[in-house]
Amino acid sequence: MSVIATPQSLPPARIAPSILSADFACLGEEVRNVLAAGADWIHFDVMDNHFVPNLTIGPMVCEAIRPHVGQAPIDVHLMVEPVDALVPMFAKAGASLISFHPEASRHVDRTLSLIRDHGCQAGLVFNPATPLDWMDHVMDKLDLVLLMSVNPGFGGQKFLPSTLPKLRAVRQRIDQWIQQGGQPIALEVDGGVKADNIAEIRAAGADTFVAGSAIFGQSDYAASISAMRAEILKADSLQA
C-alpha cells in the first residue's frame, strides 16, 4: 500500500547553502557567517569539466574549510567521473555526506558501500532526466537522495517545475521503505531554490534545501535563511 507523505511525517527542514556561490577569496569567513546565520549543512559542489561542463573545487578545499564548520555536516556532491578514487580523499578531508550520480559509477552498489566504509553517509543524485529506478535496488545503502532541479554545471539557474512530481515520487518511495523498517533517508533538492518557491518544494516532500545565490548572493544571510524557514512553516501549516 502506498504511503503519501504529510507535513507531520517530514523530518525538520535543513538549509544547506552551496559554497559554489560564496566569495572564494574569504571562504572560511563565508562558511562561518552562513552557519552563524542559521544554516544547517554546508553544500560542497565538485565539478570536473568532464561529467559536467564546469571545474570547481576538490578535497584540499574541503579540508581547508573543515575547521571553520565546527560540528555542521559538509555535504559533498560529486559531479565527477569516475567517482571511487575521490571517495577516500573527501572522507579524509572531512566530508560528512558524499553523493554521486549513478551514471558516473560502473557499480552503484559498490560505490555506496565504499562511501559508508569510509565513515560517511552515502547518497545518489538524480539529474532532471535520470529515472528513479536506480534507487530501488540500493535503498538499504542510501542515507540521502538528491534531486537536481536544474541541469548541473552552473549556479544561478531557474528551478524546473517538473522536479515537483519527481519529488513526490521519491518521498513516497522513502516513506514506504521506512514503514517497512528501513533506515531514514534524507530528500534533498538542489537548483533554483529560493524563498519564492521553497514552500511548494517542501509541500512536495523535500526536507533538505540547497541554496546558492539565494543566500550567498544576498547582503543579509540571516534574513534570507529566515525568509526560507518562514515559507517552509507556511507550507507545513497549510497541509497540516
Catalytic residues: 45, 190
Question: In sequence order, which residues have a C-beta less than 8 Å from that of residue 184 and are 6 or more positions away?
Answer: 11, 143, 178
Q: What's the Cα-to-Cα distance from 25 to each of 22, 104, 183, 199, rounded to whole Å?
A: 9, 31, 40, 33
- If we measure between CA atoms, which residue out of 169, 156, 149 comes closest to residue 209? 149
Question: In sequence order, which residues have a C-beta less than 8 Å from that of residue 192 and are 6 or more positions away?
Answer: 149, 150, 157, 158, 159, 160
The strand ranges marked E within 117-215 are: 121-126, 144-148, 186-190, 208-211
Please answer whether residues 4 and 11 qualify as being in contact, where contact means their C-beta atoms are separated by less than 8 angstroms.
Answer: no
Q: Label residues 45-75 b or e (16+ Cβ within 10 Å = b).
A: bbbbeebbeeebbbbebbeebbebbeebbbb
